[in-house]
A and B are shown apart, each in its own frame.
Chain A
Amino acid sequence: GAGVSQSPSNKVTEKGKDVELRCDPISGHTALYWYRQSLGQGLEFLIYFQGNSAPDKSGLPSDRFSAERTGGSVSTLTIQRTQQEDSAVYLCASSHEGPRGDTQYFGPGTRLTVL
């Protein structure tokens, strides 16, 4: 079946502009995660959605970052007033709800470059 998809694959923006990154999880997966991969910080967790529960936003680096998930499926990560340090690859992953340790399957990522 189809895997996790993300769009756009690449995004170049100017400092101060807002950007939206989209994630389409695997059909039937109720858990959705956003991570960020950067040279300086490695792979770090940003936010977690599970069904209709309130998201866990504990990994968001600042209040310029927000995310939503509509209808328990597609998610959008929004970065407002982008800064150069926001340049990174943003990865989305999804998994089944169920026993602990469900495998997270990752999308191809969105490479964000802030000029």
Chain B
Amino acid sequence: AQKVTQAQTEISVVEKEDVTLDCVYETRDTTYYLFWYKQPPSGELVFLIRRNSFDEQNEISGRYSWNFQKSTSSFNFTITASQVVDSAVYFCALSEFNFGNEKLTFGTGTRLTIIP
């Protein structure tokens, strides 16, 4: 069975500090996809990034960066120079392929609070 573990339940940092959110996954698939979503207080899940299992290049988008390492089954997310607007719950997810159904298996989320 597929599993996603986000061991950090809650993190608080002071504004402008860097913060890394950890994600560890388990799967028997050789081809899979990993995702990060942000859930601000409004409640809607906002897509941040998708990464396939064959692409281990790190990715940077503005203040956001992602480190994918198959050797450790990790897909960590770093926010540089955090801002109050980054306060949210962040979910890591893994897609499972079953005759077309790419349902997402989510981690339990990390609640990030940025202190002004």
Identify which of B33, B35, B103, B107 contacts A45 (C-beta below 8 A).
B103
**B19-27, B45-53, B59-67 - the one binding chain A:** B45-53
Number of interface residues of B (CB under 8 A): 28
- Residue from B31, B102, B107 with most neighbouring chain A CB atoms (10 Å): B102
Q: In the complex, what residues of A have CB within 8 A of residue B107's CB?
A: 42
Q: What secondary structure prevails in chain A residues at the interface with B?
A: strand
Who on chain B is nearest to A3 by CB? B44
Do B101 and A48 touch across chains, with their CB atoms under 8 A apart? yes
Number of interface residues of A (CB under 8 A): 27
Is A103 interfacial (CB-CB < 8 Å)? Answer: yes
Do A100 and B43 touch across chains, with their CB atoms under 8 A apart? no
Q: In the complex, what residues of B have CB within 8 A of residue A43's CB?
A: 91, 93, 104, 106, 109
Q: Which residues of B contact A (CB under 8 A)?
A: 31, 33, 35, 37, 42-47, 50, 52, 91, 93, 95, 97-109
Q: Which residues of A contact B (CB under 8 A)?
A: 31, 33, 35, 42-45, 48, 50, 53, 56, 59, 89, 91, 93, 95, 100-109, 111
